[in-house]
Chains A and B, each alone.
Chain A
Amino acid sequence: MSTLRTLRVLTSTAKNRPALPDPADQVALYQAMVRLRAADEVLAAMAARGRIQWHQSIRGREAVIAGLAHGLMHDDWLFTGAQVPDGGGLDFTCGRSLHHVGTSSPGGARVVHAMGVGWAARLRGDPQVSAVLFGETAANQDHFHVALNFAGVFKTAALFVCCSDGSLVQTSGGSIAARAVAYGMDGVRVDGTDACAVLHGIRKAAQTAREGGGSCLIEALVPEEGEDPILLLRDHLQSADLWSEEEETTLMADVADSAEEQARKATVPAAGNKPQVFEPTGAPGA
């Protein structure tokens, strides 16, 4: 079994724990998580009522998404699971100016695409990094192996972020992050309920990748019955005097307003017409 320790910030009392990010970052992470949860709840409710076809809830994983989006910089790339094009789904970028590719549904394939983007950035000498978020089941796919092997060989600027509940029922080895050694890259396990830990892990890996140091495999642990990432950070912010009741009230009111907007955006569009079916495929039509 792996001897990798799990990186924690908020829940750690260890002396060598990473420093907290700036107060502004902490607040931004909190706001992002609250917005993600509100949007997730709206989409889940709409799916339950048949107003949209499908929604895969991210409940409990808000810290991973917020920490990842905030750990990247302007113009970086982010690959996530299937979302409705045209902004009907969750905003995985948390409002940040990232190139988001969120339409590849089968778990493993996009891991290779993200590696390709990180490789292209290296070839061009650009500072961009590319990150991909996937579940532990995708780590069982041949795509995962192929992508990480290429990433190790070519030192691509790609971050592989695996969100795992830690049970790894169908995954050998006890840890996804431990596999990094075999691919010649860093492997990091972070507490996926601790947004500050995720942010720290992503920022460090992104900086290494940006400087030409290659890829990183990050395993974000989100246990089924784990801490609520939002409450965890809110408790910290309040005890550190970084977040007032008044600010909480204002945020909640704003979130309620944007929930309605989210719902409207996500509503199933009117049935398409024939040209819409053929135009984006280049197909000759019928």
Chain B
Amino acid sequence: MAEMNIIQAVNDAMKIAMSADPDVVILGEDVGQFGGVFRATAGLHEAFGSDRVIDTPLAEGGIIGAAIGMALYGMRPVPEIQFIDFIYPGFDQIVNELAKFRYRTGGGFTCPVTIRTPFGGGIRGGHYHSQSPEAYFTHTPGLKVVVPSNPYDAKGLLLASIRDDDPVIFLEPKRVYRAARGEVPEGEDYEVPIGSAAVVREGTDCTLLSYGAMLHTSLAAAEVAAERGIAVEVIDLRTLVPLDIKTLAASTWKTGRCVIAVEAPRTCSFASEVAALIQEKCFLALEAPIHRVTGYDTPFPHTLEDTYLPDANRIVAAISETMNY
């Protein structure tokens, strides 16, 4: 075991995937010689060469469209989109092509493409470097959407994603890229299964659902709540599609209360979908309305980032409101 941050864990996963399978290739902007703007691909170009760790032109539609072609040919490309805010030029390729190839060809072609991309705020990057648009992708049938919150999961989920025969949008929580540290078996090949949530803190009073960087804010909120005598059960979704609704529902049946915390703008955020599902599955268990703690329905602000992003106080307020309903 070694202590790693998420960047190192992601890097270790790609190193292992590439060593085990010559069909795994990385492509993206500055992923090669430079090693990626966040250093996620550092050292891979030296280790695997420029035919497998490929610097591309700045054209996301080209990166993803080319990855689709490579996947059709039999490779397992892992394109990096430098910030998810830059993904929109590739949106047509993702939504109309990548997500639908298997369906449209009657299973004739699969597209094992894993798009890695950092998402979310917390680096004072303004709206071109901070958005949380995961709901666009969870709304697109044919895509899996995976979001680790810690190094161990980041490595295991990325290995599972790369080896999945269907496309995966792999969202990396950039705010905790380096802040989230933990024990990771270095060089060891393991997978964390796609589609399974994790109960990261047990509690009996209120279920708190989150993912990515917001999971850490949620844990801080649970700590504050505990000081006030409220035992919060915190669940890390880890995968948004397919969603492990069984685990979320079982917890809500136990606690009778549910709060969902995400960074994304409120309307039609993934929190809205989770709230609808919990309401369907746990209606008779609920003691209070389900609360969503989200970003606001505004563009991601540059100077008011701390106001925009949910913090522990906002989550604790939602928990209190739920408890006192």
Cα of A124 to Cα of B51 in the assembled complex, Å: 9
- Chain B: interface size category: 35 or more
Q: For the complex, is B192 an interface residue (Cβ under 8 Å from A)?
A: no
Q: For the complex, is B28 an interface residue (Cβ under 8 Å from A)?
A: no
A143/B61 in contact, CB under 8 A: yes
Q: For the complex, is B283 an interface residue (Cβ under 8 Å from A)?
A: no
Q: For the complex, is A283 an interface residue (Cβ under 8 Å from B)?
A: yes
Whether A101 contacts B72 in the complex (CB less than 8 A), given A116-B67, A149-B57, A281-B103, comes out as yes
Smallest CB separation, A130 vs chain B (Å): 7
Q: For the complex, is A142 an interface residue (Cβ under 8 Å from B)?
A: yes
A120/B142 in contact, CB under 8 A: no
- Chain A: residues with Cβ within 8 Å of the partner, total of 35
CB contacts (< 8 Å) of B62 on chain A: these are 112, 115, 146-147, 149-150
Smallest CB separation, A69 vs chain B (Å): 19
Q: For the complex, is B296 an interface residue (Cβ under 8 Å from A)?
A: no
Cα of A149 to Cα of B59 in the assembled complex, Å: 10
Q: For the complex, is A207 an interface residue (Cβ under 8 Å from B)?
A: no
B69/A115 in contact, CB under 8 A: yes
For window 39-77 of B, CB contacts with A under 8 Å fall at 51-52, 56-57, 59, 61-62, 65-75
Smallest CB separation, B32 vs chain A (Å): 13
- B91-99, B204-212, B257-265: which one contacts chain A? B91-99
CB contacts (< 8 Å) of B70 on chain A: these are 116-117, 119-120, 123
Most buried by B among A117, A280, A282, A284: A282
B72/A113 in contact, CB under 8 A: yes
In the complex formed, the residue of A with least CB distance to B65 is: A112
Smallest CB separation, B26 vs chain A (Å): 12
Q: For the complex, is A56 an interface residue (Cβ under 8 Å from B)?
A: no
A112/B61 in contact, CB under 8 A: yes
CB contacts (< 8 Å) of A280 on chain B: these are 102-103, 106-107
B102/A85 in contact, CB under 8 A: no
Whether A85 contacts B97 in the complex (CB less than 8 A), given A113-B65, A142-B61, A283-B141, comes out as no
Q: For the complex, is A71 an interface residue (Cβ under 8 Å from B)?
A: no
> Is chain A's binding surface mostly helix, strand, loop or mixed?
helix
Interface string of B81-121 (1 = CB under 8 A from A): 00000000100110011000111111111000000000000
Q: For the complex, is B166 an interface residue (Cβ under 8 Å from A)?
A: yes
CB contacts (< 8 Å) of A110 on chain B: these are 97
A86/B106 in contact, CB under 8 A: yes
Please list 28 pairs of residues, one from A and one from B, whose beta carbons are closer than 8 Å in the complex, sorted by A's number: A85-B105, A103-B101, A103-B105, A109-B92, A109-B96, A112-B66, A113-B65, A114-B69, A115-B65, A116-B73, A117-B69, A117-B70, A119-B66, A120-B70, A120-B74, A120-B75, A123-B70, A123-B75, A124-B73, A142-B61, A146-B65, A150-B56, A280-B102, A280-B107, A281-B142, A282-B102, A283-B141, A283-B142
Lowest 10 CB-CB distances: which A-B pairs, in order? A116-B69, A112-B65, A120-B73, A146-B62, A116-B66, A117-B69, A120-B70, A113-B69, A85-B106, A103-B104
Q: Which residues does A use to contact B, with CB under 8 Å?
A: 77, 85-86, 101, 103-104, 106, 109-110, 112-121, 123-124, 130, 142-143, 146-147, 149-150, 153, 279-284
Q: Which residues does B use to contact A, with CB under 8 Å?
A: 25, 51-52, 56-57, 59, 61-62, 65-75, 89, 92-93, 96-97, 101-109, 141-142, 144, 166, 242
Beyond the given A115-B69, A116-B66, A120-B74, please list 7 additional residue pairs across the A-B interface where CB-CB is below 8 A: A112-B61, A116-B65, A116-B71, A117-B70, A147-B65, A280-B106, A282-B166
